[in-house]
Amino acid sequence: MALAMPPTPVSSAWTRRAFGICAGLLATGVIGLGGCASSPASSGADALPSWNDGPARQAIVNFVNQVTREGPGYVPPVERIAVFDNDGTLWSEQPLYFQFVFMLDQVKAAAPQHPEWRSHPAFQAMASGDHAALAGNEKAMLELVLAANAGMTAEDYDSRIRAWLAQARHPKTGRLYTDMVYQPQLELLAYLRAHGFKTYIVSGGTVDFMRTWSERVYGIPPEQVVGSFIPLRYELKDGKPALVRQPGMDVNDGPTKPVGIARQIGRRPILAFGNSDGDLQMLEYTAAGAGPRLALLLHHDDADREFAYDRQSHVGKLDKAWDEALAKRWTVVSMKSDWKQVWPATK
């Protein structure tokens, strides 16, 4: 797509906040100075054109109004931390996590140098195109991938990711993977930032994978991407510093998502958006803080425009988190009912 960022109407009528918004937009380069200096105030509803006017959108707008307007629920800008899961929340995750597809392509490319892989169950599942078996063998496949990348520098790995993203396409839509992001979420990210929020990704995906495109596509800079981490070792190669990939992975998923948040952000978020059981603890942790909180859960119920899956899915399973969302009255977002449009326009 030419530009994933939607236009961002300035949406506060209060002078103090309007200038805070100007500052944020100037800093991110979303608007030029002319837009800031004149800063026409418009209603928040205009900022979410791909969201239908239903309870989910209303909950979002009410929450943002509450924390940004003076009153009992006011939250200062530095504490407006919003965290988003990535796979299945900001972009699609079916039929396999996209980073996993990248890893499979890496394994395929490296396979000729590894004849011993032929007897590996994960490799066989890949060769036969058995998605369910592959998803079940994710950990074993990860081992192959880590072997394929052992000793690679962070810079070389970065180049491989970029090369892959530039040409690989989704099997169902034919889109580039970075065009498989959700238009309503791009609008929501921009809307939150326009109201002084700092938007973060908190994902099970690895930071190196996401950071190659998160800024361009979501407007989320590398330092606001929290994810799984492949250990690195600092080395001098011919006197030149290099960060070399090591075996293993520090996984950021489920109960380690709040740990990743504590480690990298150091503040409890006031808004969290997820879509699967891997987001349960992040939502729980966010919702349990003092003051206004918004916990959102995307339900994939739109087989026509995207995919429909929940309790039985082998990718992005939504079971316990759904029960807890219902019990605790978190906001469940229905893709089918709440989203007017799913995909951004492509060029």
Residues that bind a copy of itself (CB under 8 A): 19-20, 22-24, 26-27, 33, 36, 77-78, 154, 198, 207, 211, 215, 221-225, 229, 231-234, 236, 240-241, 243, 255-256, 258-259, 262-267, 281, 284-285, 288
DSSP 4-44: -PPP------SHHHHHHHHHHHHHHTSS-HHHHHH-----G
CB of 83 to a copy of itself, least distance (A): 12
Q: How is residue 306 written in tokens?
A: 């995207």
Q: Can you tell me the distance from the alpha carbon of 195 to that of 24, in angstroms, rounded to the nearest whole number?
A: 9
Amino acid at 269: P
Which tokens sit at 328?
A: 């605790």
Q: Which is nearer to a copy of itself, 66 or 256 (CB)?
A: 256
**What is the C-alpha separation between 200 and 219, in angstroms, rounded?**
10
Cβ closest to a copy of itself, residue 68 vs residue 183: 68
**Least distance (Å) from a copy of itself to the CB of residue 240?**
6
Q: How far is the CB of 216 from a copy of itself (least distance, A)?
A: 11
> Measured from the CB of residue 195, what is the shortest distance to a copy of itself in angstroms?
13
What the block records as the tokens of 278 is 């891997």
Q: Which is nearer to a copy of itself, 8 or 313 (CB)?
A: 8
Q: Are strands 294-301 and 331-334 parallel, antiparallel or unpaired?
A: parallel
Map residue 277 onto helix, strand or coil.
helix
Q: What share of the chain is helix, strand, coil (3-state, %, to 5)?
A: 45, 15, 35
Nearer to a copy of itself, 20 or 55 (CB): 20
d(CA 81, CA 294): 11
Q: Closest CB to a copy of itself among 26 and 308?
A: 26
Between 250 and 301, whose beta carbon lies closer to a copy of itself? Answer: 250
- H or E element that contains 84: strand 81-84
By C-beta, is 329 or 347 nearer to a copy of itself?
A: 329
Q: How far is the CB of 1 from a copy of itself (least distance, A)?
A: 20
Nearer to a copy of itself, 156 or 223 (CB): 223
Report, in Å, the least distance between residue 316 CB and a copy of itself.
21
List C-alpha distances in Å: 60 to 27, 85, 124.
24, 17, 45
Specify whether the CB–CB gap between 107 and 127 falls below 8 A: no
Identify the sign of the CA torsion 64, 67, 70, 71.
Answer: positive
Q: How far is the CB of 11 from a copy of itself (least distance, A)?
A: 17
Least distance to a copy of itself, CB of residue 53, Å: 32
**Residue 53: what are its φ and ψ, rounded to 5°?**
-80, 80
Specify the residue, 130 or 235, whose C-beta has the smaller distance to a copy of itself. 235
Closest distance to a copy of itself from the beta carbon of 52 (Å) = 32
Q: 275 is written with which tokens?
A: 């879509």
**Plot region of 196 (φ>0 → left; ψ -120 to 50 → alpha; else → beta):** left
Do residues 307 and 29 touch, judged by C-beta distance below 8 A? no
